[in-house]
Each structure stands twice: as C-alpha cells, then as structure tokens.
Amino acid sequence: MVVMELVHGLLHSINAHATILDDRRVRCVHRGHQHLIEATVRRGRELGCQSTVLTFNPHPDLVIHPERDRLYLTSLEERAELIERLGVDLLIVMPFTRQTMSLSARDFMSKCM
C-alpha cells in the first residue's frame, strides 16, 4: 500500500517530483470522485509521476455562505483516509479564504506550480 503524504498549503512536495494533479477540489469522496481519483493514480503511474489530489479546508461554502446550516458527509480526516486508500501519493489541503476565492483559475494554478 502506498503511504500518502499529506501537506497543508503548498510546500516543496508538488515540485519535488513530476506530478499529475487532480484539481477538482475534492470535498467528498463519492463514487464519481473515486473514479476520477483512480484515473489520476493510474495516469500518474503510467507517466512515472506522483499522483496528487487538492482539497480545501474549510469547505468553500463555509466562507462563501457562513450563514447556512450544512451537514458534511465526511470530515477532512475521513476524506484523507479514503483518498489514501485509492493509492494517491500526495494530498494537498489548501486553506480556502476570501483571498483564495478572488483568484482566477489561472492565478490559482500559477500559485500551485
């Protein structure tokens, strides 16, 4: 079994090795996400890259709509465990803030690389 590295924020890990990034901002690990993550892991192995998944904490909806009541299916710890079981090499947990929210997709990905 692969031992997944978990990092909070962007550290050197994403650039330390060739990386394939699933940037779908995984907030839960339902069957659809499992399929996509498994495809990322397979592709990473084919290319000799580390497979990486990006998730946000707190959930973006907590920042965008703090007044809403919500129930989440999994905690961050449970999500990390489920993602690790899928064979992912690296899980990046990014803080979600109003500043993060204001970035364009291009600017956000530029910060990731």
List of domains in the chain:
5-112 (3.40.50.620)
Pairing relationship of beta strands 19-22 and 5-8 according to DSSP bridges: unpaired
Structure-block tokens of residue 47: 């290319």
Q: Is the full-model pTM beyond 0.85? A: no
Q: Which residues pair with 92 in a beta bridge?
A: 7, 54
pLDDT value of position 86: 93
| CA neighbor of 26 nearest in space, from 38, 17, 15, 18 | 38
Predicted confidence at residue 75, as pLDDT, reads: 86
Q: What is the pLDDT of residue 24?
A: 54
Give the sheet arrangement for strand 90-94, strand by strand. 5-8, 90-94, 50-56, 19-22
Give the per-residue pLDDT at 2: 58
pLDDT tens, position by position, for the chain (113 residues)? 557 887 777 665 566 667 666 555 555 567 778 888 899 899 999 999 889 888 888 888 889 999 998 777 788 899 899 999 999 998 888 888 999 889 888 888 777 66
**Closest listed residue to residue 54, CA positions, set 81, 18, 80, 86:** 80
